[in-house]
A and B are shown apart, each in its own frame.
Chain A
């Protein structure tokens, strides 16, 4: 069955501390943080997506490719053909820069797996590697990301008319906020949306309030 996007709104924004009321973010699925729910379909989809690049060529890596394709198809069903024909799909850069053995281009591959995707551009690149947010106690902040994010001017023309920043998981919203900041500076007035496969939610009402 086709799943439609849900929006981040006033009821659910509290799980994502960096998002503000003017951020337009969309997601397909939710998963609960904090315990081992590895049995859940969304959890295993995300963990398959995140299989390390060093596993390339192993049987496990096949699951990564399947997960990437499934995400591309699901996004394609939820995005309007009209928008796809004119908008720019912009993958969040991997935490490990190109050339790093753990460089993981899964988000770019998801964008390319969206049927009907016309304009997929790595318009924002990362100049050096950071610890992967999901593997690190010291998650990079917005300023850390802005320090290493650069617009790739060789890909800046034609200027985009509407941008969807694509990422797999929405946690605090750090990467989206950093992307939106640098893109707004370079392309003022162009609408920027956050598009996520899944967002993480907290089970316990007291966990982060």
Chain B
């Protein structure tokens, strides 16, 4: 496929000192504009940048359109109570290169909180939204153990395992990062509002979800953002641990991403013992680690 040509010299050197200076606001608006185009997906957007690796969103969007979108995003976020947030954009400082390990890398992320937490050793703990009581207890023990070993516990702020992982890490005075499947200022599930705000204020909340596209489309389409954020969560962390997940769980998206990206994938032993599941053995055959006791985790993480 021939990559779409750059249409705009959105970042001229001008008379100033900077080589192609980046306006985060302009990039944010341009990225949102790309997402508003017909048929835009994570893949189509990533393909565009794969074809032109030094391009930035503003190279493909008319400046006035980018700025109009940026203003709308600021208004929408402000109305949602998001008064301060940041972005990370490819080619600017502080953008984590490890995001490029994803099959379709994300060019721009929104965040609230302290970005520095991404520089700590991060392990994702994920699993089903409908866990058994035992899985909740396992999650809590696991999160506490990770905190004790100074790891940051990363999860997706969903009901069930995710919520248990974040909450246990915070209660153990540890650090946590939430990678959410909604835009900043949108709470899903609604009962996690307080937890999301706590993480945004005291830790780190990350969203790759475009604010305007999300607002313009219906719930079924927006559901697709949830598994996509799992791929980013894997890219941001050094390992993913799965506590409990069914045969068709979205958690398995993260498992596949972890292996593809060269991240460690750890699966609790109890899942191997369930006769209704075939995926644990499949992933083990492809390199996942079966966790029979905590030492297996520390050995795998090194």
Contact = CB atoms under 8 A, between A and B. Distances in A.
Contacts of A43: 116
B112 interface: yes
B22 A193 contact: no
Nearest to B28: A11
A24 B93 contact: no
A3 B93 contact: yes
B17 A193 contact: yes
Contacts of B25: 9-12
B114 A32 contact: yes
A83 B114 contact: no
Interface residues of B, number: 37
B46 to A, nearest CB: 19
A130 B76 CA distance: 44
B147 interface: no
Given A11-B74, A40-B116, A30 B94 contact: yes
Secondary structure at the B interface, as helix, strand, loop or mixed, is: mixed
Say which size band chain A's interface belongs to: 35 or more
A111 to B, nearest CB: 12
A4 B19 contact: yes
Contacts of A80: 13, 17-19
Contacts of B16: 24, 26, 83, 162, 191, 193
Contacts of B82: 205
B20 interface: yes
Interface string B127-167: 00000000000000000000000000000000000000000
A205 B83 contact: yes
Interface in A118-174: 162, 164
B201 interface: yes
Contacts, number: 118
B115 interface: yes
Nearest to B67: A10
Interface in B5-33: 13, 15-26, 28
A4 B91 contact: yes
A69 to B, nearest CB: 18
Contact of A209 (B83, B114, B202): B83
Contacts of A162: 15-17
A45 to B, nearest CB: 11
A5 to B, nearest CB: 4
Interface stretch (A55-63, A99-107, A179-187, A196-204): A196-204
A205 B112 contact: yes
A87 B120 CA distance: 39
Contact of B84 (A14, A30, A42): A14
Interface in B55-98: 70, 74, 82-87, 91-94, 97
29 contacts: A4-B21, A5-B18, A6-B23, A6-B92, A7-B18, A7-B22, A9-B26, A11-B24, A11-B25, A11-B28, A11-B87, A12-B86, A26-B17, A28-B93, A29-B94, A32-B114, A32-B116, A37-B114, A37-B116, A40-B116, A42-B94, A83-B13, A164-B17, A193-B16, A193-B17, A201-B86, A205-B82, A205-B112, A209-B83
